[in-house]
């Protein structure tokens, strides 16, 4: 089993910054993709940013130029640096880890979520 633990959420004023962290641990053979999703009240969960093992990144249009995803493969950790935060960025942010087991099976794991509130 794989454990996924996020941290770094909180309250920030519009225009401010936050850095989210997500660490994966447990029975990890290899990590395929690490990413961040978010879900605001009354909305569906949406992709924020992903980072593949090959180094490719993908961002939602709404966060391009403001958010940066990075990863430390040695620590099985992914980060999300969020700058110039807007009230519409407020949501519960979830970390997603996709792993490949030794037998080739692809597994999908989610963290418990961390709240980001953007308000003055």
**In this model, does residue 8 exceed pLDDT 90?**
yes
**In this model, does residue 28 exceed pLDDT 90?**
no
Q: What percent of the chain has pLDDT over 70?
A: 100
| Separation between Cα atoms, residue 11 and residue 47, nearest integer Å | 21
Q: What percent of the chain has pLDDT over 90?
A: 92
Residue at token pair 């924020």: 48
| Phi-psi region at 61: left, alpha or beta (left = phi > 0; alpha = psi -120 to 50) | alpha
Residue at token pair 């969020």: 82
Per the CB < 8 A criterion, the answer to whether 15 and 85 are in contact is: yes
Neighbours of 40 (CB within 10 A): 14
């Amino acid at each position: 089993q794989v454990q996924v633990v996020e941290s770094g959420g909180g309250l920030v004023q519009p225009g401010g910054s936050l850095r989210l962290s997500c660490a994966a641990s447990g029975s990890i053979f290899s990590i395929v993709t690490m990413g961040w999703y978010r879900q605001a009240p009354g909305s569906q969960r949406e992709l924020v940013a992903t980072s593949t093992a090959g180094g490719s990144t993908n961002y939602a249009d709404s966060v391009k130029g403001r958010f940066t995803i990075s990863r430390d493969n040695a620590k099985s950790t992914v980060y999300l640096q969020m700058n110039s935060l807007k009230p519409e960025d407020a949501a519960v942010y979830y970390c997603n880890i996709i792993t490949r087991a030794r037998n080739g099976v692809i597994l999908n794991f989610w963290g418990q979520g961390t709240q980001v509130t953007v308000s003055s």
